[in-house]
Structures are given as structure tokens and as C-alpha cells.
A and B are shown apart, each in its own frame.
Chain A
Amino acid sequence: MHSHQYPDSTGRNDIMQATKNRMSVRRRFRVLLASLAVVSVAAACDTDITNPGGAQDAFLDSLSAHQALVTGAQRSFAEAMENIGYWGAAMTFEINPAGSTGSYGIESYIQAGRFRIQDSGDWEEAQEARWAAEDAVRRFNRVLTESDLPDLPDFNSYAPAAQALAWAGFANRLLGENFCQVVFDGSGLLPHTAALQRADSLFQEALAIATAAGDDDYVNAAHAGRAQALAYLATYGLASWADAAAQAASVPDDFVLDSPRSDQTDGQFNWFYWANGNEPYRAHTTWGTYWENMTDPRTPFRIATDTTGDAGVAKFGGNVPWYPQMKFDSKSSKINVASGWEMRLIRAEAALAANDLTEAANQMNVRRTDLGLTLFPVPFASLADGYTALKTERAAELWLEGRRMGDVRRWIENAIPGDFVDGNYRDINQDNQFPVKVEDLMGRARGFFVGESEAETNPNVTKAEAAAGCTP
């Protein structure tokens, strides 16, 4: 028996047969309307959802949130300072590369003395630190002066405002010292010194409010910040060394303002420690730097005899001895932002600028006495000797604090006399494994680029202009 073939397998014919006996059109329509009503109810589901996490902008106007905004600005500063300090240290031979590249190491182009404009992260983080602190100040001012709420504190004596102003000042100082050019809030390109002038202005405001608020720590911080900014500007003739020294003199020797680190998230780790923590990264070494044969307690390191850096370094011919720094001993080790001892060096540098070789030596010897180091002769035999000592003292005092590149640039660009700590290390190294001089600070980058991301989004900045400002 052969089967019959039915092309329609869905039973539609049956359905249509039933349809022929259908009810009235009106009844169908009623069924349809009822069904659509059911659908409408089902589809009218409320799609409003509030997910936890994050704070809506308006919530931060509350006074209770203001201190958190200051803390956030501090954190942004810490994150910006982290890689700027790390790569800046590699660029200026505070440390030498010992292997790793990428996130935990020192890229080969940095080893070779170049930064890249496409590495926008440092620029972005530095700008975030600046903007977040300045925006906090704007918010505090708006809330405290425009709100109708009763019993609001006075902005001019509001401690969080002083603190935010101080961190805004330090963020501007970070920008000015480490970038070739700067931009503010979508402006065009400005010389890097503009950021230091902006920093000075912010520190002045901070000083006034902190004084009114009785916040002694931030009074000292504002004085120290002003001293840093003015010293830098004075090197370029844009400020007075006397003013810088006066600000520095207001700060006690034992004052320290530091940038906190945290062992909870890698964005907050102390990268000098973590990139060298042997878990497994051994990305940098003190071997081959100026400090290898020094015994200055400000530049501590240890000699690891059981291992080397974590990968080969071509310019050193392979794996290099691993002498990890010991200034920071954990992921949460804080990094100084300003200190009383740095102020002594600013006063010394101001004295040298005034050709006062006695005062310069005395200021430097205060710190060396404190450390038990051999004192410099008083006075220095020459201005060049004084500057050589000053440059070496700053290199030691501010080692791995993200300050060296700014110092190198201002001294080179302004032809400050005296030798500075450079990369010509092999001729004094007792180890003849690598006897050739391999480094010269003069040919290396002295600042980070304004990031490519700024050039791509800011109509007032072109990539070519941004790239042009960083030629050594």
C-alpha cells in the first residue's frame, strides 16, 4: 500500500474547516480586545530600576559627603602619581630596568629614553586628580554660598575646602613638573609652568582658609606646596627665590604630607614595591644606578644574591643583578608629597641662587646632621660645588617620589651649574660585568606628553602640537 501525501501537516485545514462554522465577527473582536487588554497589563511592567553602587551627583552636595570628595581627590592624586613616579624614575635613572615590560614593568621605549603620546593614561589620571580637587572646591563654594539651608559653615573657614585646595595645588604641581605642556578644562596648550603658577594660586587660597579653619596640617601643606611651586618657577625666572625660601621656612623639619597607598586594590598599590615584589615581578633594580655604591640612608636597597631581574634587558646584555629598593617595604607604603626636609633644600637652593655658599651648605647640613652623614664644607668652595651638592641631595631626599624628572628638566633648561646625578654609572662600579657607559641623561625625555586622548577630544589641541612639546 502506498501512502497518501499531505503537504499541510499543521492541521490548518482542520482549523479552517472549523472557521467556516465560526461565530460572529463581533464575538471574535471581543475576544481580541480582551486578549489585548491582558497583553497590555503584562507589558506595562515598570522598567524603572535603581541599582546599588555609585553615588548620584546631587547626593554629593550634602555636607556629609564633602570629606569623601576630598579623600577621592587624594586618591586620584595617588593614582596619578603612581605611574608618573615609576616611569619618571626609570627615565631619570633613579632605578634601572630589570626585565618586565608592560603593566608591571618598564617599557622598552622608556628604557630607550622615550615616552609615547598614545600612552594617555598618565595624562588622564593627572587631569582627573586636578579636576576632581578643583571641582570639589567649586561644589563646596556653591553649596555654602548659594544654598538656603540654615547654619551652613563659612566657605572661607571651611576645612574641607582648604584641603581640597591643597590637593588641587599638588595635582597642578604634579602636572607642571612632569608634563611638557598643560591644558586646563578644555583650554589650548599652555607651557608647563602655567600649572605651577596655578598651583601657587591654589596654595594661597588653601593657606588662607586653612589658617581661618585652624587646620595646622594643611597650613603647613599649603606653605610647603607654595615653596615647591615657587622654587620651580624661580628656576625659570617666573617667581622669586626669596618667596620660595620664605614659604619653606614656615614649615617645620618634621612635617610630612604623604600620599596614602592601600593594599586592597592594585590601583592603590605602591608600584615601586609591587612591581619589584618578586611575586613574581622583579622589574627594576638599584644596580647600575648612582646609588649602587652609595650608603645614603635615604636610598636604601638590598643586594639579592640568589636571583636576578625577572627578564633580560637588551641594553645591559641580558639578565641584570637585582638590587631591590627598600624605601618602600609593602604595597601600602606611603609616598611623600611634601616634607620639612625638602624645605631645607629649597632654602639651600634659594641661597645658591643668591650666591650665598655658606647658607646653602648650612641648610643642607641640617639634614645631613640629622642622618649622621658627613657634612659638606661650609662654605662650598664654588657655586658649582654647591649646586652639585644640592642636586645630589635633592636626588637622595626625593628618591622615588616622582620629583626627579621635574628637577632634571628645570636644571638642564636653565643651565644651572654643577653636575647632576646621571646614568654614567659603570665607570665607578666595582663590578666589571658591564664595563661600558651606557646611559646619558641629556638625551632622554624630560616630560610626559599631553595625552593623545586630549588631542582627540579637545578642539583647542592638535596631536601635532601636543607631540611637539616634548623634544628633549
Chain B
Amino acid sequence: MTKSGLSLRWCNPPSLTALLARGSLAVGALWLGLALIAAPASGQGTVNGRVTVAGSGRPIAGAQVTVVGTNIGTTTGEDGQFVLVNVPVGRQEIRVAQIGYRVGLIGLNVQMGAITAETIELTRTVLRLDEVVVTGTAGQARRREVGNSIAQLEIAEAPDPPSSIETMLQGRAAGVNLTLGGGASGAGGTIRLRGAVSVSQSNQPIIYIDGVRTRSEGYRRNRPVSGYTGRSANVQQNPINDIDPADIERIEIIKGSAATTLYGTEASAGVIQIFTKKGRVGAPRWTFQMDQGFARMRPFGTEGNPYLNLKPASYAVFATDAEATLGGGSCADVAPNQDCSWLRNGYRSKYAGSVGGGVEGLSYFIAGSYSKYDGVLPNDTESKYSARGNFSFDVMNNVRIDWNTQYTSSNVGHTAQGNNAHGLTLNVYRQERNYFQSNDPRDLRKLLNQEIDTDINRLVTGVTVNVTPYSWFTNRYTLGYDFAHQELRNLRPFGFVRAPSGILGQDQIYYQTLTSDYVGNMNYGLTGSLRGTFSFGGQSILTKEVRTSAYGESFAGPGVPEVDDGSIYVAGENRVRNVTAGFFLQNMFDVNNKLFLTTGLRVDGHSAFGKNLGLQAYPKFSLSYVISDESFYPASLGELKLRSALGYSGRAPGTFAAIRIWNPEPTSGQPGYEPGNIGNDDVGPERTRELEFGFDAGLFDQRVSLEFTWYEQKTTDALMDVQQLPSLGNWDAQAANVGVLRNRGIEVNVNAQVVDAPDWGIELGGSFYTNESEVLALGEAVPFESGDGWVEEGWPIMAARGYMVMNPDEIADPIVVQDTIFGPSQPTLVVNPSVTIRLPMGIQLSARGEYRGGYYIYDIIDANRDAGRALEDGLTARQRVECIQDNTDSDYMYFKADFFKLRDLTLRVPMEWAIPKTSSATLSLTVQNWARWLNDDMRIFDPEMGERNTVSESGVLAFQEAYPPPGIFTASLRITF
């Protein structure tokens, strides 16, 4: 049976080219509308078939099936079945491609009105040497040509339905480390690729979406502009999470300068490129997804107080869990949430739909989603609308235009938390030693009467024009625009318990990134076996951030105020622009399609460079050798690619680093100037050189894939904030290119099909990553603190430094060595094991975990909690520094952060049998972050509840009075027609 009957056949739209030739926009719009809902009109024949794994006969879902030389195509369902309609009669070639398999091609004769049935078998290939990658290359390149490691995350391969991009990045590839920013709604994480390469500049990788550079730094926190800025939830949202994971096809990640040279001055921390889905010529393919679930806090306290007074709401008021649950005491009256707890099971729901398809000359993918995630604290909510339209136009035979647009609108509400005396968590954790001197929930609930709301509207759009004037010459030009508007409202209303006259903060922030990017590729042949590709390009990136902030306090009375209702109000403005512009040249020699030698050079200018600094050049060199294609290589050893890469890239200094300026600082209404930035005409980018060696192997009849990489990054001219002599004016610490930093380690990714029977199978996988960092030189800078990390020659980059008790377990006075370096602030060992068990009837069970170790965390909360405890006899030296107030100092509170978490456990069940007329239907049941192991040093809290000022920092993660990411249960139903 053919499934073409599912398509609507209203008409046969004329070609877009023809419409454009007539210049009729109205007709074009109509054409576009029709194209979205119309299937290709009657063709001469139909091909259906099934795609299976060679050998096992197991069906392959999601494979792309196209008719060569046409735009006709589709994808296979869960049962491996496909249908191609409107296939021209005569001899045709059918091409089948799926990740992890060699491309399949078959030839067949299509007859008028007839249905041709075929079974196509694909052979596994774990190295995917002929798949195309884009990131870090000039234009496109096959994996076999690339000399550096590149991580590629295919969404179709993820067993769990990812709830965010961060979830997709977490624990799935060696060297890609995501540290969550706590459990508050919308909290963004920090992404580090092979550790930190800078101590003063951002270590956040730069982000591209479909070739368009987008904002990678976090959004501004919702903090009032005057007074203590911690009156907030103290979390930062990460723009990467604006993208709906359902829209994504794959993510490519290059982790260091060996691969990021062509991105130049801002790429030393790596590049992440996200590719969204495209429509394919063929009948519309509708997909709907519905997620339902809840977030539930998992224990993070002591055995006797597992939620540290968040649940039950107070141990002192309610002696036991049972009493609290049953409404003992005044629980019913308090009831911030169910069971007299500050915590709730946060309801989570998401609805997403998309349609993709195309006709000759046009393909489209249109998607929309709505999600609402309640957090575990009473005021925590997150709602988001997202829409996407991706269109591809073949306007001429050799000109293709891709237009990709995403719009997202989100609202996040927060409960005040963190190091915030107006916050719930601080006062709950400290109990009767809090600012109420009360642990009674009836007092503390007054803190919920504040509004911390963040609205973000974001548009990312880009047009890419591909022109191929000659078969040997391709051109690609991308013009992209990323615009985000963020509104922050932070209200403690009139009558608020801690600011009775009321306080309102209001910020309007606009972020813009404009991308202009050209790449040209010329293929040429030198001899029969030697050919090459010469590439060149130019790029400019303009970023702009405009912030207008206002603050008002002392309102006349109750109501919803505006800033200027306050008897005191102030305003502020920040406007910052930066521009990077540069060009590159690259040449790749290809010897027999086995050996590839690439050399390249990027040259950049940047608006933040000192005036004495000229353009900066970043060279690259890489070698790739598919040795297994040599005749002498035994076939029994499978596939093997050897690779090596050396490259440079940079990181620009801060916007004002080069300029000597005085800060306007008024006093009592009079204008004034204070010393600001002393300036440096010679300041330039940090230069990171990365060298990596490795191999990719497909072993044991393509059942095992193994990737190994050794890397070393050396950042010279590292920007250090050099402390200025206080007695010469106390100018701000000045950025200077004086330091040398190093990171090195290994990465291993392994995946093994242990059992691969038709009805069941077991796949084991994992990654292993090490990182050893060291500050090699400081130049004229003295050891200093940066981003809560200590920078000193001979020690890890941004190390944990504090007071060490040398006799912690003795019943004695503590022997303390001050200013001792404990160790690294970044994980030095990360292991991500995973297992997937394939069961009969298509059922699949998978689990994935993450271990991080070898680093330290700063637990400032313990210092606050312990201060003032009663003296007890027989205290150890360690206990004496923690429990006796005169001894207590937060500098003692450094702990090993080693932990393991079960990132996800997922059961996938095919549901086509229950939902008729679908090409695929899958129910997934997933729990995330449900179980954990902590090292013995970490007695309470969780290593993922730390707080940073920005996601760009890489110092020691510090606990503030936050809470860890909750466990999340999700039931997800995804159906495709």
C-alpha cells in the first residue's frame, strides 16, 4: 500500500523560478502558501520499500531516501518503510543515507502508475568518513578530510527527548562539559570545551546557528541597578536555550584552536554550530510532540534533614515529616505548597508541532512549540513560545537560497534566592539565625511577595546564498541577524516585609549580532591522484548591546508601581559595540582520497585592539590519513583514520581595555570624574595554539567505534588583569598580554554494539576526558584572583585557594596554613558511561551517567550556616574552624567536588500499533538527574548548585544559598504522519 494518499493534492504549483520571473510577489506568496500544504502532483510512478541493516535485517528508521537528480525524497518510518511518489518513469537511482551507515544506491525501473517495491540494505560504518561536516572547515568537508577532532551530536541518536540544548550537550561527548547553574527556572549553565583557556576573558564557546553567529554570553541577570545587586534569583539565562531542541538536526562542536582557526579572534574557547532541520522534497511530513512531566527536588541535605528545611517547611515548627504532611501545627494555614513544604512538584508540559516537505525549487520546515515549566519553588515558572521557518529556494540551476528564521518569546518568574537576605532559601537554610530570627513559615512566606520577572523576545534570521557558477567553484554568502530584547522587572512592592516603602528595578536591554560571511571554494586537479581545494573568505561580526535601566523606591502606597512613582528614582545607560573583521585563505591537498593536508591562515582586526596593534594572523595546519584505505592495511582491522592538527585562534580583549578613561561619577547632583581604566595601546588578543593528535577507528566488523585524541593548548599573550599600584591612583586593573597558560589532556569516545540481534541488542558507550591546566607565566602580573579563582604561576588555571587545616581530624587546635592552593576549579577527569538495551517490539531502554572529578568547589553557605554554633567538647580541628565563630572564615570552605549523576534513564516504546495512520509514534519515559553519588567531603548540598556572576567565568564554583537542579520526569509522545 502506498501512503501517498495521506497527502493533499490540490494542484501542481508552478515553479518558484517562473513566479519570480514574472515578478509577482502576491502570486509568489500564494504559491508559497500552496506549497506548504500541497503534495507533489501526480508523477509517473511510485516507489516504496524498506531500509534494513545488512546482515541483521533490522529496520532503519529516519533514513533519508531520495531520487538522484531530483528533489524527490522522504524518510523512513520506525519500521524502515518509505514511499516515494511522483517518480519519473524510466531508469532511476535511489539514494539512501542514514547516520552510521554507508550510503546506499540502487538502480531500478519506474513504470507509469505502477508501484515498485524494494528492500535496501545498508552497511554499518561507525566512522562516517564520508559524512559532511561544516564547522571549522571552509565550506563543507568530509570527515575523512578533517585533521582535527569534531564532535557531532545527532538528535535522532539521542534516546531521551532533550528538554533544552544544554541537556543535549551534557555528558554526551568527551571534552564538552556543561555545568548547570542551579535549579531555578531558566538557570543557564556554563559550557567549557577542554577547560578554560583564559583567566580574564570569556571561556564560553561562540555559537552559530545555521551559519549565523549568535549571542553566546549569558543574558543579564535580573538585578536592581542600585543597592545590593543580589536582590534577585541570582541566575543567568543562557541564550542557547532559546532554541527548541525539537527543531535541531545536529550539533557540531570543535573544541580548540586546532579546529577554530578560521573563526579567528574570538574562537579560542571553541565553536558550537547548531543545524536546524530542513524540509525535503516530498509529501508534507507532520510531526507532533507532547511532553508531560514534573520536576521534583531530590535530597541534597543531610540524612536527618534531606531538604535543608525546604521540606518540611520548618523542622522546628513541625517535628517530623509526618506531622508536617498531616497539617500539624499551623501547617494548613501556612501551606506555601502541598505538604507544608516550600518545595513542590513543578508541572512541566510542552507541545510542539512541525511540518516539513517541499516541491521542486522549494523546501520548507515550519515548526512551533509552547512549553510551560514550573519550578520547584513557589514563584518559579518558565513559559516559552517558539516558532521556526526554514526555507530553501532553488532560484536558478546553480543558485540556492536558504532562509532560516527563529522567533522565541519567553517569560521566567523567579523566587528570590541565592546570597540574598530578601531571598527565601537564605532565610530558610539559616532557620532561626536568619534575618527574621524565625523559622516560622508564616514569617518567611512574606518573602514570596516579590516579583522577579524576565521577558525575552528573540529573533534569529539568516539568509545564505549558495552560488555554483562552475562545477569546480562554489560560493556561499551568509547574512545573519540575531536580535534579542530582554525586559527585567524586579519588584518588592509597597508593604514588602524587608523594604516597606517598596523598590522597583526595571531594565530594557537590546542585544544585536550582525553576521556577514563569505566563503569560496575552488577545486582543482594537479595529477591523477593529487587534487586540491583552495578556499578563501571574509567575515565581519558586529555586536551591540544597549541597556537602559531604571530604579525607583519609596512608593506612596499599595498598587502596581512604575519606576517614577518612587520618591527616589535613578536611571542608567550602557551602550557597547564591537566589531571583528577578517579574511582567510586555505588550501587542502587530497592524495588519492586517503591523505589530506590542509594549511590555512586567518587575519583579523578588532575594535578592542590597542592602536599600536595591527592585524593579527592565525595559521593552521592539519593532516588526515585514512590508512585503512591503503591496500596494505588488513581489512580485518576495520577502518582507521590518523589525524593531527595544529592551529591558532584568539580571544579579543574587553571593549575598553585599550582606552584610558575616567569614569563619570556624580556626587550629590554634581558631576565628577574618578580614575577608571588606565589604558593600553598595545593590548591585543590572547593567542591560543592548540596541537592535537589522534585516531578514529572502526573495529570488530564495525561494531566498535573508538576515537582517541591527545591535545595541548597553550595560550600566549594571555590577558591578565594587572593590578595597578594603589598609591598611583588605584586605577582599575589593566588588561595586558603578559601571561602563558596551558591545558592538556586526552579524550576518548567509544561505542560498542555488544549484541546486535534482529530483535534485541546491547550497546555500550562512553567518553573519557582529562584536563591538566597550569599557569606557566604571569609576566608582570602578580598572583591575583579572577572569577573566584586564583591565578599563580605553577598552579592550575584559576585554582581554588583558601585556608587549609593541616590536622583536620585531631582533637586539637587547628594548625592552619593560609593561602593554600587546594587544586583545580575545573574537572580534571570526566567519564560519561552509557548503555542502550534494545528489546523486542522496538522497545529500547537506555541510561547515561556522568562522573566529574578532580576539582574543588567553594561552599560559602557552610560558612554562614556554621557560624555561631554552640561550642561542643571534643571537637576536631576541622570542626573548630567551622563551628567556633571567632575561627570561622569562608576561606576554609573548599571541598572536593567529585560526583556522579545519572543524567537520564529512558524507556522508549513504539506506539504505531496504538495510534493508527502514523508513520511513526514513540512514547518515551525519561527521568533526569534522579540519582547521584557525592564524595565524602561534600556533606551537604550539590556540586551543581553553584553560582557564577556570568556564564563566561571559569573560576571556582561558589555555593550561594541556591538549590540544585531537580530531578525531572518526562513522558513524551512523538508522532509523525
* Given A32-B534, A131-B730, A453-B723, A319-B664 contact (CB < 8 Å): no
* Given A314-B868, A458-B727, A47-B606 contact (CB < 8 Å): yes
Determine if A185 and B663 form an interchain contact, defined as CB atoms under 8 angstroms apart: no
Please, which residues of chain A bring their CB within 8 A of the CB of B575? Answer: 51-53
Asked if A101 is at the interface (CB within 8 A of a chain B CB), the reply is yes
Asked if B557 is at the interface (CB within 8 A of a chain A CB), the reply is no
Please, which residues of chain A bring their CB within 8 A of the CB of B227? Answer: 266
Within 8 A of B (CB), among A87-113: 101, 103-104, 108-109, 111-112
Determine if B472 and A15 form an interchain contact, defined as CB atoms under 8 angstroms apart: yes
Determine if B673 and A127 form an interchain contact, defined as CB atoms under 8 angstroms apart: no
Please, which residues of chain A bring their CB within 8 A of the CB of B729? Answer: 127-128, 131-132, 135
* Given A16-B531, A453-B723, A264-B226 contact (CB < 8 Å): yes
Determine if B499 and A55 form an interchain contact, defined as CB atoms under 8 angstroms apart: no
* Given A39-B583, A53-B575, A124-B867 contact (CB < 8 Å): no
Please, which residues of chain A bring their CB within 8 A of the CB of B570? Answer: 264-265
Asked if A149 is at the interface (CB within 8 A of a chain B CB), the reply is no
Please, which residues of chain B bring their CB within 8 A of the CB of A36? Answer: 536
Determine if A453 and B581 form an interchain contact, defined as CB atoms under 8 angstroms apart: no
Please, which residues of chain B bring their CB within 8 A of the CB of A135? Answer: 729
In the complex, residue of chain A having the shortest beta-carbon distance to the beta carbon of B474: A15
* Given A78-B667, A308-B437, A454-B725, A7-B580 contact (CB < 8 Å): no
Distance in Å: Cβ of A296 to nearest Cβ of chain B: 28
Instruction: State the CA gap A76–B579 with chains docked (Å).
Output: 34
Other-chain residue from B105, B437, B499, B676 in contact with A307 (beta carbon distance below 8 A): B437
For the side of the interface on A, what is the size category? 35 or more
Please, which residues of chain B bring their CB within 8 A of the CB of A9? Answer: 97, 103, 130-132, 142
* Given A8-B593, A28-B522, A310-B888 contact (CB < 8 Å): no
Most chain A beta-carbon contacts within 10 A, residue among B108, B422, B672? B672
Asked if B539 is at the interface (CB within 8 A of a chain A CB), the reply is yes
Instruction: State the CA gap A12–B725 with chains docked (Å).
Output: 62
In the complex, residue of chain A having the shortest beta-carbon distance to the beta carbon of B626: A7
Asked if B782 is at the interface (CB within 8 A of a chain A CB), the reply is yes
Determine if B536 and A43 form an interchain contact, defined as CB atoms under 8 angstroms apart: no
The stretch of B115-123, B844-852, B947-955 in contact with A is: B115-123
Please, which residues of chain B bring their CB within 8 A of the CB of A315? Answer: 885-886
Asked if A295 is at the interface (CB within 8 A of a chain B CB), the reply is no
Asked if A260 is at the interface (CB within 8 A of a chain B CB), the reply is yes
Determine if B726 and A75 form an interchain contact, defined as CB atoms under 8 angstroms apart: no
Distance in Å: Cβ of A38 to nearest Cβ of chain B: 7
Please, which residues of chain B bring their CB within 8 A of the CB of A381? Answer: none
Determine if B525 and A16 form an interchain contact, defined as CB atoms under 8 angstroms apart: yes
| Cβ-Cβ contact count across A and B, 8 Å cutoff | 287
Determine if A456 and B677 form an interchain contact, defined as CB atoms under 8 angstroms apart: no
The stretch of A63-71, A207-215, A414-422 in contact with B is: A63-71
In the complex, residue of chain B having the shortest beta-carbon distance to the beta carbon of A112: B886
Instruction: State the CA gap A314–B568 with chains docked (Å).
Output: 38
Asked if B516 is at the interface (CB within 8 A of a chain A CB), the reply is yes
Please, which residues of chain B bring their CB within 8 A of the CB of A53? Answer: 574-575, 661, 664
Within 8 A of A (CB), among B827-857: none
Asked if B205 is at the interface (CB within 8 A of a chain A CB), the reply is no
In the complex, residue of chain A having the shortest beta-carbon distance to the beta carbon of B49: A1
Asked if B660 is at the interface (CB within 8 A of a chain A CB), the reply is yes
* Given A65-B673, A453-B723, A453-B726, A19-B473 contact (CB < 8 Å): no
Asked if B475 is at the interface (CB within 8 A of a chain A CB), the reply is yes
Other-chain residue from B603, B667, B726, B782 in contact with A123 (beta carbon distance below 8 A): B726
Please, which residues of chain B bring their CB within 8 A of the CB of A308? Answer: 437
Chain B positions 117 through 161: 1 when the CB is less than 8 Å from some CB of chain A, otherwise 0 = 011111100000111100000001010000000000000000000
Determine if B106 and A1 form an interchain contact, defined as CB atoms under 8 angstroms apart: yes
Asked if A187 is at the interface (CB within 8 A of a chain B CB), the reply is yes
Asked if A24 is at the interface (CB within 8 A of a chain B CB), the reply is no
Instruction: State the CA gap A60–B662 with chains docked (Å).
Output: 9
In the complex, residue of chain A having the shortest beta-carbon distance to the beta carbon of B118: A1
Asked if B671 is at the interface (CB within 8 A of a chain A CB), the reply is yes
Asked if B659 is at the interface (CB within 8 A of a chain A CB), the reply is yes
Distance in Å: Cβ of B791 to nearest Cβ of chain A: 13
Asked if A427 is at the interface (CB within 8 A of a chain B CB), the reply is no
Determine if A45 and B673 form an interchain contact, defined as CB atoms under 8 angstroms apart: no
Within 8 A of B (CB), among A302-340: 307-308, 310-315, 318-319, 332
Please, which residues of chain A bring their CB within 8 A of the CB of B656? Answer: 51, 54
Determine if B581 and A51 form an interchain contact, defined as CB atoms under 8 angstroms apart: no
Determine if B97 and A51 form an interchain contact, defined as CB atoms under 8 angstroms apart: no
- Sample of 7 more A-B contacts, CB < 8 Å, known A55-B673, A57-B662, A186-B727: A8-B130, A14-B471, A53-B661, A54-B662, A75-B666, A263-B568, A280-B498
Binding site for B on A (CB under 8 A): 1-10, 12, 14-16, 18-20, 22-23, 28, 31-32, 35-36, 38-40, 42-49, 51-57, 60, 65, 67-76, 78, 101, 103-104, 108-109, 111-112, 120, 123-125, 127-128, 131-132, 135, 183-187, 260-266, 268, 279-281, 307-308, 310-315, 318-319, 332, 451, 453-454, 456-458
**5 closest Cβ pairs, A-B complex:** A54-B661, A71-B672, A314-B885, A18-B471, A128-B730
Report 16 cross-chain contacts, Cβ distance below 8 Å, ordered by A residue.
Answer: A3-B106, A5-B102, A14-B471, A42-B516, A42-B539, A43-B583, A75-B672, A128-B674, A186-B727, A260-B667, A266-B227, A314-B867, A314-B886, A318-B868, A453-B723, A456-B783
Binding site for A on B (CB under 8 A): 96-97, 102-108, 118-123, 129-132, 140, 142, 226-228, 421-422, 433, 435, 437, 469-473, 475, 498-499, 516, 518, 520, 522-525, 531, 534, 536-540, 568, 570, 574-583, 593, 603, 605-607, 609, 655-656, 659-668, 670-677, 679, 723-730, 782-783, 867-868, 884-886, 888-889
